Amino acid sequence: MEEHSLEYKVKSLPLSPGVYNFLDKDGKVIYVGKAKNLRNRVSSYFREKNQVGKTAILVKHIHDLLHIVVDTEQDALLLENKLIKKFQPRYNILLKDDKTYPWICISNEDFPQIFFTRRKVDDGSLYFGPYTSVNAMKNVLDMFRRAFKLRTCKTNILLENVEKGKYDVCLDYHIKNCCAPCIGDVSKETYSGYIDQIKKILNGKTYEVINNLKKQMADLAAQLRFEEAQEIKERYDVLISYHAKNIISLDLPQTVEVYSMVKDGAGEYLYVNFMKLSNGFIIRSVTREFKIRMDDDDKDIFATAVTDFHFSELNIGNNAVEIILPFELDFELSNVKITIPKLGDKKTVLEWSVNNCRKYMDEQQRQRSLVDPDANVRNIMRTMMNDLQLDEEPRHIECFDNSNIQGTLPVSSCVVFKDGKPSKKDYRLFNVKTVVGADDFATMREVIFRRYKRLYAEGDALPQLIVIDGGKGQLRCAYETLCELHLEDRIPVIGIAKRLEEIFYPNDPIPLYLDKKSVTLKIIQHLRDEAHRFGITFHRNKRSKAMIHSVLQDIPGIGDVSLQKLIKKFGSVDKISDASVAELSEVLDLKKSQAVFAFFHSSSAEGEILY
């Protein structure tokens, strides 16, 4: 695809949280920012009223931009912090490695302390984080202390001094908030076991710890050691009630590469995303677009992209020890492990990659639609043609829906979509003429016959697709009617069932299930909903008029002409019944006005009016 200007790139950014990088003419990152809404935030830089001071100077040096989509604002905050430290852009306030976001530290001692800090010291201690919320991090620490009764004192407790009895207990011990390793109430091995469980939780393996505790409880109960089982249960309950995984970093301590691909609905382009993570943080994200030729295989394109990305990264440093892919490839890479995840943190980052890939595809399609307004319509039509296995693009679609109330007043609606959008001037409504009672099948036969016999006879354009709101029965009736008109080969027809959104074809018992997020299903659902709305509105108006007539026809001396005058003037039975003789005389003569007034105000009529 040809390069589009910076203006088009900005207009096509997603409305999602993420991080954006501004690049100068040499491709160097000069500014890193975060956004709750990428398109709105980046657009704000290029509005004239905002181009003052530092912003004006920055905007003059922007030649290109890159962005990474993330799930939440907190993810954007952490990623911005990481990228600013990595690139040190000249227009950002430089962030130092200390005094930024807090970390949880497990000290390097015989009986480790667990606390939060803003400084990382190379003394053998373990650090987990960083956290964007101090309160969230303190909640994690509080949960650990309640579950494991960890010590909170800053005393350097040495095992040899514990054995010599050199320490005294503190208040926490007396109020049962500390397991007291200082006096040997808990052994070094048991305390280390607590720390190992905490490490697993901080690495995102909360449910592994929970399952182990559950097994320990069962074993202790089987041995009738109920007091010990109760202690384990208390710890288990704390962990179950606290979803630590929501605020803990990903369990990816090493550098990994992640690859995913997405194909557009028209089958013209393939998009491959590459993400690089180090210690659970995204440090690089790139998506490429590939034009698909007739003889190209998707997996071959993907494999080529993976090798290109991987070997170019080898020259940059910080090489990956693992590659995460959505499926197996038929080649191997040396000195690297290949993983196809099914669940867990690795599956999560693969989904991040897919999300970025989809967002990039949407941006490219929006850019094309800005340059060529009909490009997006053509892409949607090609997608629908491929999804529904049609021979031509469904530029003109018609959808039918029937409506009746307890078998009375049957009506049918026909809505028309052109180029994927409603064409309301072409909507049609049908009063069913030949059907008695609630017979949806016969109603469908009548309206399909009337609609397409007339279009064909008058030489009007026939639709490229008919959609029937209903199941197999109504679809079969519509198809048989088209056969009767000898149009079955000229107009494809499908049915959509409400419960599971299944797509049915004539003479095929197996339904088609479309992706719930696909543009094809969304347009078909829009057709179905619009036909239902249009038909219900018509039916409601028809029913209302019928009810008005049913009441007014009981008035002596009032015929159809007078009824029409009253309905046109007052609109409803309520307003007619409230009208005075003088008001009624504006449309009827005095004698008829008095008859109408007397009908609604005589004592015998009290409570007998039907609405």
Distance CA 395, CA 244 (A): 51
**DSSP assignments along 491-538, one per residue:** S-EEEE-TTT--EEETTEEEEE---TT-HHHHHHHHHHHHHHHHHHHH
Q: What is the CATH topology of the domain spanning 384-541?
A: Nucleotidyltransferase; domain 5 (3.30.420)
pLDDT for the residue numbered 152: 82
Instruction: Tell me the two tokens of residue 583.
Output: 């008001």
pLDDT for the residue numbered 604: 38
pLDDT for the residue numbered 71: 77
> CATH assignment of 6-87, given 3.20.20.70, 3.40.50.2020, 3.40.1440.10, 3.40.50.300?
3.40.1440.10
pLDDT for the residue numbered 396: 94
Around Cβ 179, how many Cβ atoms within 10 Å?
Answer: 18
Task: Please tell me which residue, 102 or 346, carries the higher pLDDT value.
Answer: 346
Around Cβ 509, how many Cβ atoms within 10 Å?
Answer: 7
| 602 contacts 555 by C-beta, under 8 angstroms | no
Question: What are the φ and ψ backbone dihedral angles of 509, each rounded to 5 degrees?
Answer: -75, -15
Mean of per-residue pLDDT scores for the chain: 80
Any residues with CB less than 8 A from the CB of 274 and at least 6 apart, and which? 257, 258, 259, 284, 285, 286, 287, 288, 305, 306, 309, 353
Mean pLDDT of 107-115: 88
CATH 3.30.70, applies to 256-369: yes
| 120 contacts 98 by C-beta, under 8 angstroms | yes
- Identity of the residue numbered 309: F
Q: What angle do CA 388, 362, 73 make, to 5 degrees?
A: 130
Distance CA 204, CA 381 (A): 44
- Say whether the peptide bond before residue 130 is cis (omega within 30 degrees of 0): yes
> CATH assignment of 553-605, given 1.10.10.10, 3.30.2320.80, 3.30.56.10, 1.10.150.20?
1.10.150.20
Distance CA 447, CA 430 (A): 7
pLDDT for the residue numbered 245: 40
| pLDDT tens-digit readout, 476-486 | 999 999 999 99
List beta partners, residue 127: 105
pLDDT for the residue numbered 599: 80
- DSSP label of 463: P
| pLDDT tens-digit readout, 91-104 | 775 444 434 567 88
Q: What angle do CA 385, 391, 395 make, to 5 degrees?
A: 55
**DSSP assignments along 142-174, one per residue:** HHHHHHH----------HHHHHTT-----HHHH
Of 141, 150, 152, the residue nearest 247 (C-alpha): 141
| pLDDT tens-digit readout, 270-324 | 899 998 887 666 767 788 888 876 666 788 788 888 887 887 776 555 677 889 9
| pLDDT tens-digit readout, 368-423 | 777 676 777 888 888 899 889 898 999 999 999 887 544 456 778 899 999 888 99
Mean pLDDT of 1-10: 66
Of 516, 504, 500, 512, the residue nearest 474 (C-alpha): 504
Task: Please tell me which residue, 542 or 288, carries the higher pLDDT value.
Answer: 288
Distance CA 430, CA 535 (A): 9
Global pTM reads 0.43
| pLDDT tens-digit readout, 481-515 | 999 999 988 999 999 987 778 899 998 888 888 88
Any residues with CB less than 8 A from the CB of 606 and at least 6 apart, and which? none
Q: Establish whether domains 6-87 and 384-541 are of one fold.
A: no
Distance CA 208, CA 536 (A): 54
List beta partners, residue 430: 412
Mean pLDDT of 60-71: 86
The residue extents of the domains of the chain are 6-87, 103-247, 256-369, 384-541, 553-605
Q: Which of 49-53, 84-88, 383-387, 426-430 has the lowest mean pLDDT?
A: 49-53
Instruction: Please say if the pLDDT value at position 81 is more than 90.
Output: no
Tell me the Cα Rg of the chain: 36
Instruction: Please say if the pLDDT value at position 203 is more than 80.
Output: no
